[in-house]
Amino acid sequence: MPFRSSILCGAVLALAAACATATPQAPTAPSELAQRVIQFDADRGALRRYWSMDASPRGQARQREFLEEQLASLARVEFETLTQEARVDWVLLRNEIEQDLAALELARQRHADVVRLAPYFDKVLDVIEPGQRLEPVDPAKVADAFDALLRDVKAARKAGEEQHKSEKRSVLVRAAGEVSELQRELSGWVGERAGYDPLFTWWVKRPADALGEELGAHARQLREELAGLKPGDEETIVGDPLGREALLAELVGAMIPYSPEELLEIADRELAWCEREFVRAAQDMGLGDDWRAALERVKQDHVGPGEQPQLIRELADEAIRWVEERELVTVPELAKETWRMEMMTPSRQLVTPFFTGGEVISVSFPTDGMEHEKKEMSQRGNNRHFSRATVHHELIPGHHLQQFMQSRYATHRRSFASPFWTEGWALWWELLMWERGFQRSPENRIGMLFWRAHRCARIRFSLSFHLGLWTPEQCIDFLVERIGHERENAAGEVRRSFNGSYGPLYQIAYMVGALQLRELHRELCVERKLPERDFHDAVLQGGSMPIEMVRARLAGTPLTPQWRTNWRFYEAWRK
């Protein structure tokens, strides 16, 4: 796609001037809409905290009203008078509002499943929410309502014994979670008044306690008796598949103009490349085409107990020297000075079997209290060569540098946080450093390829799960059999992906975001000769956003109020 030469020339000059000194400078003038974005995010946050229950119909209605007002107000902005930075913010803000509206609608639809299993749910909210909103309540009427609701919950439990045995496990677990949250809301409201207001306590506390106990019993019935989970079970993976229609809506919001099926094809193509490179590395190790034997040898090369922190320090220093010597990105001295390290607890390693990072890199490695088999799996899964790729992903030039700059430039764009920018950036460095020869041995190549293949696998297993094609067990098997994961580590990876702490597109964002940055780098640095340090500094200083909007900033993509995602970033690489 050709760029307007005058726009590109201006961008290059501005970026080159910005990056000429050791201290990074903002590459463009501030956006005129920055304050508007800040206010929107603050107002939205206030409403979300006030209506703390996602399932509340009243809360959903109030948030919908707010978002529709914001959308109408945004439409009245004179778009043609805005600078490119502000136009980017306008498009991002409109997209954010539309995504919030879509999320509210999805929450409403999914809550309908809960109401089908717990028909009393909204009635309980009808009683407690006025009091939570500090409206006057009649304690005697509240007590009567709770007494009636107690019978409704008992009836739902009785009905559940027969009617819900064929219900999807994911729906049962979701309903159990919402009922438990309802129980906490009830307990919290009554607890704030009980004892302080003698009349309220006299009327309400006893029926409220009884209702709370019955809600807890219903939640346990849904989770344990019907869904089949044992009390305190933190290891069984259930998940909650999103479905194709909702996945498509999420992709539009993330500005990814590909279908789930197209992304699966991309993942398979990239994984096939990794497998060919695995074989080449195995051959260089003297193991013929047996890349699994090569992977097994690499896993055995790990440090002993207590030695992992020193290895991390050495790998971090090496990566910093490497990018600085090649003038690939500006690394402020304070960023190099202020990162820290912590070791993960065994319980956290159940969901995070590898490193996480930022200013603090959390290192997954066995502790003395872990079972022997799990100790060995953790050591093997965090060996020297796997760690070589992980450390620079999490620290510099990856997440730590990214977060350091994000807190200092275009801070209003934190509202537009995108995993395709966050994780795509860190994985892009793995791709670029591979291309430039950061790996020094066949074993290093195996270690870096493992993670690259792993990110391809994340697209395959997460989309297959949300499309309803694979179970969590099939996802684990895929990681073990196709990628070479230790089974405990594969289970932790799948558990983290589907336990609700990540959005449905998070796991695909690593590779897809990296591929977007790869194409943008080709367009600007290879074709248009933008210096690489200028390019990387500009990406960081622009703040978090879908990568297509990074492209709009740096390449001057013409934007209009009608603009929609259209960048087919992988087409050049299919050939």
142 shares a domain with 92: no
Q: Is the pLDDT of residue 527 over 90?
A: yes
SS (H, E, C) 181-200: HHHHHHHHHHHHHCCCCHHH
The whole-angstrom separation of Cα 278 and Cα 262 is: 24
Q: Domain boundary at 113, 143, 162, which?
A: 113
259 shares a domain with 220: no
303 shares a domain with 279: yes
Q: Domain boundary at 113, 147, 170, which?
A: 113
124 shares a domain with 108: no
**What is residue 28's predicted lDDT score, i.e. its pLDDT?**
53
Look up the pTM and report it: 0.89
49 shares a domain with 140: no
**What is residue 236's predicted lDDT score, i.e. its pLDDT?**
87
pLDDT digits (tens, 9 = 90+) for 199-219: 999 999 999 999 999 999 999
pLDDT digits (tens, 9 = 90+) for 308-349: 888 889 999 999 999 999 999 999 999 999 998 887 777 676
Confidence of residue 355 (pLDDT cuts 50, 70, 90): low
What's the CA dihedral at 259, 260, 264, 267 to 10 degrees? 80
516 shares a domain with 404: yes
Confidence of residue 19 (pLDDT cuts 50, 70, 90): very low
Number of domains comprising the chain: 3
Q: How far is CA 502 from CA 11, 83, 99, 294, 497, in A?
A: 35, 34, 16, 33, 6
298 shares a domain with 167: no
The whole-angstrom separation of Cα 114 and Cα 189 is: 22
Mean confidence (pLDDT) of the chain: 89
86 shares a domain with 140: no
Residue 387 lies in a domain: yes
Q: How far is CA 310 from CA 93, 263, 289, in A?
A: 44, 39, 34
**What is residue 354's predicted lDDT score, i.e. its pLDDT?**
65
Name the residue among 361, 314, 326 with its Cα closest to residue 340: 361
User: 378 with 440: CB under 8 angstroms?
Assistant: no
Residue 575 structure tokens = 């050939």
Residue 100 lies in a domain: yes
Residue 147 lies in a domain: yes
**What is residue 352's predicted lDDT score, i.e. its pLDDT?**
63
The whole-angstrom separation of Cα 244 and Cα 397 is: 35
297 shares a domain with 345: yes
132 shares a domain with 43: no
Residue 483 lies in a domain: yes
Residue 195 lies in a domain: yes
Mean pLDDT of 418-422: 97
Mean pLDDT of 392-404: 95
265 shares a domain with 145: no
pLDDT digits (tens, 9 = 90+) for 39-86: 999 999 999 999 988 899 999 999 999 999 999 999 999 999 999 999
137 shares a domain with 206: yes
pLDDT digits (tens, 9 = 90+) for 439-491: 999 999 999 999 999 999 999 999 999 999 999 999 999 999 999 888 888 99
Q: How far is Cα of residue 209 from the mean position of the Cα atoms in its chain?
A: 38
Residue 205 structure tokens = 């506390």
| Strands 360-363, 340-343: pairing kind | parallel
Residue 17 lies in a domain: no
Q: Is the pLDDT of residue 573 over 80?
A: no
Residue 14 lies in a domain: no
**What kind and span of H or E run contains 341?**
strand 340-343
- Sequence-distant (6+) residues with CB within 8 A of 465 are 239, 241, 471, 472, 475, 497, 498
Q: Domain boundary at 196, 226, 256, which?
A: 226
Residue 235 lies in a domain: no
Name the residue among 385, 352, 403, 346 with its Cα closest to residue 543: 403
Range of the domain at 65: 31-113
Name the residue among 485, 478, 495 with its Cα closest to residue 451: 485
Q: Is the pLDDT of residue 6 over 50?
A: no
Question: Percentage of the chain surpassing pLDDT 70?
Answer: 91
Name the residue among 61, 158, 168 with its Cα closest to residue 118: 158
